[in-house]
Chain A
Amino acid sequence: MKKVSKLLVELSVALVVSITLFTVLPSKTMAASIGLSITTSPVNEVLSSKPGTEVSTTLHVQNNNALPLPMTIKLYTFSADGNSGRPLLIPATPADIFLNWAHFTPSSFVAQPDVPVAVTMTIDIPKTASLGYNYGVAFEPVITSANKGVSLNGSNVILILLDTASGNEVHSIQVTSFTASKKLYEYLPVTFYVNIHNNGNVFLSAGGDIFVSKTANFLPGSIIGTIAVNTAQGNILPDTNRVFQEQWTNGFPVFQPKQIDGHEISKNNKIVYQLNWNFSQVDKLRFGKYYAKLIMSYSNGERQVPVTAVLSFWVMPWKLMLIALFLLLLIIGMVIVVFLLIHRVRRLQRGTSRRRG
């Protein structure tokens, strides 16, 4: 009897806690019912101006839907999430006073379909400002949520790095590590990782090249490959690391991203590579030990400061080498067989001659 009553209680509780969540159309506009699509440009920007001045930039946003979309602007700050340059977006808090320095014209607007809207962002930098500040400027459609269900919204965030060019800035970076993904490659590409640490107190960008040579002294004329590093001019936030990944692809044969109908193929979130045999590049068959020298530079506010690092790696196309060795042995074997045959025929000829004599 107790079991039955307990079961009834549980069933009634289960019925009571059954929660109905209805589909809702949260937006005031028809556009929202068919989805949202926004394009913003640029994706990030560096601004620099001294304390006590103001600095402006123009940001563009476009509504890609067929109907007008009311838009608003929200501000975030951000830090580094890992070492890839991915921002860790942080919702604004009252402590982020610097966010109040920024204002926008217009601050809210209705984005007409396929019409870019230029928004001027102006930052009034107070005299007390120092070092750098990170702004995340989000363009977000105004959507009125219904009072039940799950509504969805989308926004694009433009990252703004503000350098106040104040006198207490310390610009300094160092190469924490410069490595290749492997010590031994069969074929190119060779993947390099450049790990940079910003040990200053303001964000910095650094650029440069990796030079590849067959000799360790990198004399002029010995450079057989040059790979640009950080061509996107990515920044390194203070007291963080950033890893730049670059590839040396100038070889024969070389693994290249597999393409179908001009599109790169990926599987399990990784690009699919295939070996490309472009025989016009046969002179770029890589074999042996190679040296790579990293030369990057950054501005310390007065001049460009170089940072360098060197590594070595091997390229051994062992399958090609085995095939070449096999062919060589085959040729040698054939020569020996032919030599022996000739020798045997001559012996037979001499034997025949003696018998006739």
Chain B
Amino acid sequence: MWGIKTIIGLSALMFASFSASGTYSLNSYSFGPGGTNSAASNTYRTQSNLGEISGTANSNTYTSKSGAVQTEQLNVPAAPTLSNGSGTYYNELQFTLNTGILPSSTTYAIAVSPNNFTTTYFVQATGALGGSQVYQTYTAWGGSSGSYMTGLSNSTTYEVKVAAMEGLFTNTEFGPYASSTTTAPSISLSISPTSSNLGSLTAGSVITSTTNITASLTTDAESGANVFVFGQYGGLRSPSKSYTIAGVSGNLAALPEGFGLQGVNATQSSGGPLSLVSPYNQSANNVGIDSTAPYPILTTPKEVQSGSSVIELQAKSANIDPAAIDYQEQLTFSAAAAF
């Protein structure tokens, strides 16, 4: 029934062994999945090939994939260099890509996570974090100067890793990550000196302090901060006479008596601007109140560096005020950020 050639062929197949020598042995071989290398549409493009050995080797420290498609891929980028500004960035981190030998036309996407990539975000072109990968060149990501990822939470450790791509079918996986921790924002207030001289109060005259107060404010609080002022007595108090020249807001020249504060100027080296709050921002003999309740005297809508204001005290006594040498007040300046 079967021809002699068929029988010989089948016999040869049954007894044939795979190629081998003293230095190698081919245990098995097979054809890979077939396909075309030009499949594409408006939304996808694929590359595939035929007859390659498939497989992936893994360990804890490396992944090796075989095949021509894999060899087209770029080197996986090294971990980026991160900086929290020597402990000064509380809502951003600076990152600089480490490109190695990758060509300059390579584009990179940056993945960020606050929880070891349980949740992953991607740095957008604006620096904000978003849900979609944004590929940009090394130059667009700031080059050697780096760039900033923004909108981060304070006191949080972020892991950052990078993927590379250059043209089609070269996209790498995300590489190893680097981590850095944002700091907590802070606020600094300085008051100098710790006493102010009003001299002698002459009834009916407005007396201005000879020693002005300097209040300085520095903060990296993104929503800014305020300086409040309040007094122990809400005016100049004579314990021996049980009398208080009350703190007032208004024109002391027109009022019979009173005690208040006036900001002379507000400046900053950067940020802010730091500004005086009404009624402490007046001139001449118009003063803001010294009250036992905190009143805002300085404000900044955002971060400010070396904000500073000179504040002077003005007082006026009436001729019905009891004479005393123990008129006193303790003014407290308090700094607080926005909530």
Residues of B within 8 Å of A32, CB to CB, are: 194
Residues of A within 8 Å of B153, CB to CB, are: 233
A22 interface residue (CB < 8 Å to B): yes
Q: How far is the CA of A334 from the CA of B296 in the complex (A)?
A: 64
Which of A10-18, A287-295, A348-356 contacts its partner? A10-18
B273/A271 in contact, CB under 8 A:
yes
The contact string, 1 if C-beta is below 8 Å from chain A, for chain B 189-231, is: 1111111111111111000010101111001011101101010
- Most B CB contacts (10 A, CB to CB) among A37, A86, A87, A134 go to A86
Residues of B within 8 Å of A10, CB to CB, are: 319
A72 interface residue (CB < 8 Å to B): no
Q: Which residue of B lies closest to A272 (CB)?
A: B273
B228/A89 in contact, CB under 8 A:
yes
Residues of B within 8 Å of A19, CB to CB, are: 200-201, 238, 317, 321, 323-325, 327
Q: How far is the CA of A260 from the CA of B220 in the complex (A)?
A: 20
Given contacts A33-B193, A152-B195, A156-B334, contact A38 B188 (CB under 8 A): yes
Residues of A within 8 Å of B299, CB to CB, are: 86
User: Which 3 residue pairs are nearest across A and B when measured between Cβ atoms?
Assistant: A35-B192, A85-B338, A269-B275
Q: How far is the CA of A27 from the CA of B232 in the complex (A)?
A: 16
Interface residues of B (CB under 8 A from A): 91, 124, 126, 128, 130, 150-151, 153-155, 183-204, 209, 211, 213-216, 219, 221-223, 225-226, 228, 230, 232, 236, 238-239, 266, 268-273, 275-276, 292-294, 296, 299, 301, 313, 317-339
**How many residues on A have C-beta within 8 angstroms of the other chain's C-beta atoms?**
81
Interface residues of A (CB under 8 A from B): 10, 13-14, 16-27, 32-44, 60, 64, 76, 78, 80-81, 84-87, 89-91, 134, 136, 138, 140, 143, 145-159, 161, 203, 209, 226, 228, 231-235, 237, 245, 250, 262-264, 266, 269-271
Residues of B within 8 Å of A17, CB to CB, are: 201, 203, 317-323
Residues of A within 8 Å of B154, CB to CB, are: 42
Among A20, A26, A209, A269, contact of B276 (Cβ-Cβ < 8 Å):
A269
Main secondary structure of the interface of A (DSSP, over half): strand
Q: A21-B236, A157-B334, A231-B151 are in contact. List 15 more A-B contacts (CB 8 A).
A: A14-B204, A17-B317, A19-B201, A20-B200, A21-B328, A39-B187, A43-B186, A64-B190, A85-B338, A90-B293, A145-B328, A150-B329, A156-B334, A159-B336, A161-B339
